[in-house]
Amino acid sequence: MRTRKHKHEYLEAIELLLETHPEGLIQAEIARRIGVHRSTVNRLIPDLPGYIYIDDLDGGKWKLDRAKRPLNVQFNLHEATAIHLAARLLASVIDRQNPHAASTLRKLSITLERMAPHISRHLAEAAEMIDRNAQWQDANYLRVLEVLTLAWAEGRKVQVWHRKSHGEPVNCYTFSPYFIEPGAVGRSTYAIGLREPPGELRTFKIERIERAERTSEPYSIPPDFNPDDLLSGAWGIWFTNAEPVEVVLQFSPRAGRRVRETRWHPTQQITEQADGSLIWRAKVAEPIEMRPWIRGWGPDVIVLAPESLRRSIAAEAEQTLKHYYEVSNEPNFSAVGKNR
């Protein structure tokens, strides 16, 4: 004899069923799969949680709204500390208002209020940092990120309208999101996936996507796709199928200690020199992506290899010096310094 289940057990069974059927199921199919009469399923409609809905435009299918469905996650104290560190890093580099990020930190703050009040307070402050009016209010960026996230979760292709750079035309592509990656250097967010055309792996800077629309066409991520392997040789987000290029830098004694304190790249090797300077080596997929970091060291670094990167940095330094000459109207840079 079949034991009669409670209402919450039926709802839990339906939720698990819809979890594995993102395309949705009609009421009769749900009843058949959980072993009840259609009338039993029909009586559950008033009690459906907000993230389960009936799509009248798709034959009355019951569907799970993954964007609204809450996730039940528990953290111990040390895990909460890791979340705190990640939150502080996020708040320090994000330049756009993101209500989802702020809401996440506030929920964690409330959860930790009794167990770790100090961590709780700082999580709440990080949420306030993200929500400040000073943050860039970019509604289109948030909308595009939401579309890509939902498409990634459901395995649905998207149509994206992307502008490669300022002043260039907008191109439309079909895109299958494989991964979403933050870029700390440029304070940007990137989506990696299959772009059609050309039917190959590509990266989109989300800030340059002017429009995104989810389609009903499914896709699957290849089982051998691994973002960590793909980006293992990248300095930031740029990857290539070519062999990585060895970058060799010489840092002054003054900068050497700071350089040693951080592992800047997984392949880096450091060699101490007799005069206190050091030679830094790494194999990088696209050395051109390193230019902002190298420029940041100013006169405390010299590019030894590759020659193309060395010439590029030297040309930029020369152009910078030229700009200072032009602004100061002085015949040489030393004169500029004396007049200050």
pLDDT, tens digit only, all 340 positions of the chain: 344 568 889 999 999 999 888 889 999 999 999 999 999 999 999 999 999 999 998 999 999 998 888 877 787 888 878 877 887 777 777 777 788 888 888 988 888 888 888 888 988 988 888 887 556 778 899 999 999 999 999 899 999 999 988 778 999 999 999 999 988 767 788 999 999 999 999 999 999 999 999 999 999 999 999 999 999 899 988 888 889 999 999 999 999 999 999 999 999 999 999 999 999 999 999 999 999 999 999 999 999 999 999 999 999 999 998 888 887 766 555 544 444 4
Question: Which position has the token pair 């395995």?
Answer: 155
Say if CB 280 and CB 248 are below 8 A apart: yes
Q: Look at residue 337 in the predicted model and tell me its pLDDT.
A: 46
Q: Look at residue 297 in the predicted model and tell me its pLDDT.
A: 96
Q: Look at residue 135 in the predicted model and tell me its pLDDT.
A: 62
Q: Look at residue 4 in the predicted model and tell me its pLDDT.
A: 55
For residue 315, give the DSSP letter: H
Which string of DSSP letters, residue by residue, matches 95-134?
-B--HHHHHHHHHHHHHTTTT-HHHHHHHHHHHHHHH-TT
Q: Which amino acid is at 20?
A: T
Q: Look at residue 143 in the predicted model and tell me its pLDDT.
A: 95
Q: Look at residue 335 in the predicted model and tell me its pLDDT.
A: 47
Q: Look at residue 221 in the predicted model and tell me its pLDDT.
A: 96
Centre a 10 Å sphere on the Cβ of residue 19 and count the other Cβ atoms it contains: 11
Q: Look at residue 75 in the predicted model and tell me its pLDDT.
A: 79
Give how far Cα 28 sits from Cα of 17, 24, 25, 122, 230, Å: 13, 12, 8, 50, 45
For residue 3, give the DSSP letter: P
Helix (H, G, I), strand (E, B) or coil at 279: strand
Q: Which amino acid is at 156?
A: R
For residue 4, give the DSSP letter: P
- List the beta bridge partners of residue 64: 52
Question: Would the pTM count as exceeding 0.85?
Answer: no
Contacts of 54 (CB under 8 A, 6+ apart): 45, 60, 61, 62, 63
For strand 156-163 and strand 170-183, is the pairing parallel, antiparallel, or unpaired? antiparallel
Q: Look at residue 102 in the predicted model and tell me its pLDDT.
A: 87
Q: Look at residue 326 in the predicted model and tell me its pLDDT.
A: 83
Centre a 10 Å sphere on the Cβ of residue 324 and count the other Cβ atoms it contains: 11
Burial 126-143 (b: 16+ CB within 10 A, else e): bbebbbeeebeeeeebbe
